[in-house]
C-alpha cells in the first residue's frame, strides 16, 4: 500500500501482522524502535505504555484523530504524534453501513452459510421500501445516509441530544424525539463520535422501545451502545436483529456472545477499510516519517 523503500536503505521497516492485546506485549514488541505506525485505534498508547518506550520518538496514526493515544503524555515525553489522511473514508463507512443493513434485512450471511452447509433457504427476509430509517447523529456520516434511504422509498427520521430542527431540515429529514425514533423506526443506525457524553448513549430503555422486528446498526463506536443491554435484547428477542462493525473490546473476544447470537451480522471494524483509504493512510505514514527525519514533522496532532 506504500513504498516503504523511499525512506532509504538506512531505515529498517518491520511489520507486525497480529494484534498485541496486552499493554505489556505491545511494550515488549516496540522496544528499540524509533518510530511506530498504529492502525487507527486498534492498539492503545496511554501514558503507562508511552513511558515504557524511552526510545520512541515518532508515533504515526492512520487517521487524523486517535482516542487511543494520550497526546498530552506523548508531548511531555518528547514523542511527536503525526496523523494521516485518506480519500473516501466517510463514503467507505456509509457504504458499509448500507451493506450491513441489506445483509441483516435479507439474512444474507445466514443464507450463504446455509448453502455452503448443504441447506436451501433457511429464513425469510424483509424489504426496506416503505419502512422508516432512524438516524442517531446527523453529522458528517449520518447526513450521508438519507439519499439511499429515499431511493429505497424509506421515511427518514433523526434524533440526537444536540440535533436541531433546522439541521434536520437542511439534510431533508424529519426531526423527532428520542422515544419516537426508537419506537417507530424499522432500522436504527448510529453515527456518533465516542466521548464521555456519548458513552452508553443508547441504553436498555431505548432498546426496549424498539419494535420486535426492528434492526439496530452500529458503525460508529461500540461503547455508544450499552453492549450488555444489546446482548440481552438479542437473547430475549426485544428487537429483530443487530449489525455491528464496532465493539467495546476489539478484537472481539473469542468467547463473546455476539460471536454466536443469531439474527446478527458482525464485521471487524472495517467501516474505513478500503484499498483507497489504505493507500492514503500508509502513503502519508511514509511521508510523515520522512518529514520527521528532516526535522520538519507534518500533520502533527497536538493535545
Distance CA 132, CA 150 (A): 10
* Assigned C-alpha cell, 177: 424525539
Choice among 250, 263, 293, 299 that is catalytic? 250
Q: Is 259 a catalytic residue?
A: no
Say which residues have a Cβ less than 8 Å from residue 9's Cβ, sequence separation at least 6: none
Strand pairing report for 132-136 and 187-190 = parallel
Judged by DSSP in three states, 205 sits in: helix
Say which residues have a Cβ less than 8 Å from residue 257's Cβ, sequence separation at least 6: 231, 235
Choice among 175, 191, 221, 284 that is catalytic? 221
Strand pairing report for 35-38 and 132-136 = unpaired
Judged by DSSP in three states, 65 sits in: coil
Cβ atoms < 10 Å from Cβ of 81? 24
Q: Is 191 a catalytic residue?
A: no
Which residue, among 10, 9, 70, has the nearest Cα to 38 in the 3D structure? Answer: 70
Looking at residue 190, what DSSP letter applies? E
Block residue for cell numbers 419506537 = 183
Choice among 175, 191, 269, 284 that is catalytic? 269
Q: Is 221 a catalytic residue?
A: yes
Q: Looking at the annotation, which residues are catalytic?
A: 221, 250, 269
Amino acid at each position: 500500500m506504500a513504498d516503504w523503500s523511499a525512506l532509504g536503505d538506512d531505515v529498517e521497516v518491520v511489520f507486525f501482522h497480529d494484534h498485541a492485546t496486552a499493554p505489556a506485549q505491545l511494550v515488549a514488541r516496540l522496544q528499540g524502535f524509533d518510530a511506530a505506525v498504529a492502525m487507527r485505534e486498534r492498539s492503545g498508547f496511554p501514558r503507562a505504555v508511552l513511558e515504557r518506550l524511552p526510545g520512541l520518538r515518532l508515533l504515526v496514526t492512520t487517521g487524523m484523530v486517535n482516542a487511543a493515544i494520550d497526546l498530552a503524555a506523548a508531548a511531555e515525553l518528547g514523542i511527536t504524534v503525526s496523523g494521516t489522511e485518506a480519500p473516501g473514508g466517510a463514503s467507505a463507512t456509509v457504504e458499509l453501513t448500507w451493506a450491513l443493513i441489506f445483509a441483516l434485512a435479507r439474512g444474507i450471511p445466514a443464507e450463504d452459510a446455509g448453502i455452503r452447509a448443504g441447506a436451501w433457504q433457511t429464513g425469510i427476509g424483509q424489504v426496506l421500501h416503505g419502512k422508516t430509517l432512524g438516524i442517531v447523529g446527523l453529522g458528517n456520516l449520518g447526513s450521508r445516509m438519507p439519499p439511499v434511504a429515499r431511493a429505497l422509498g424509506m421515511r427518514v427520521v433523526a434524533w440526537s441530544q444536540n440535533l436541531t430542527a433546522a439541521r434536520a431540515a437542511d439534510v431533508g429529514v424529519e426531526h423527532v424525539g428520542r422515544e419516537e425514533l426508537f419506537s417507530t423506526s424499522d432500522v436504527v443506525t448510529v453515527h456518533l463520535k465516542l466521548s464521555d457524553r456519548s458513552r452508553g448513549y443508547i441504553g436498555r430503555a431505548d432498546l426496549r422501545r424498539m419494535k420486535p422486528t426492528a434492526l439496530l446498526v452500529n458503525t460508529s463506536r461500540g461503547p455508544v451502545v450499552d453492549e450488555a443491554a444489546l446482548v440481552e435484547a438479542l437473547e430475549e428477542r426485544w428487537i429483530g436483529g443487530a449489525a455491528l462493525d464496532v465493539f467495546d473490546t476489539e478484537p472481539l473476544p473469542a468467547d463473546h456472545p455476539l460471536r454466536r447470537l443469531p439474527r446478527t451480522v458482525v464485521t471487524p471494524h472495517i467501516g474505513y477499510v478500503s484499498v483507497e483509504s489504505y493507500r492514503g493512510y500508509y502513503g502519508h505514514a511514509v511521508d510523515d516519517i520522512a518529514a520527521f527525519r528532516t526535522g520538519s514533522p507534518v500533520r502533527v496532532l497536538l493535545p
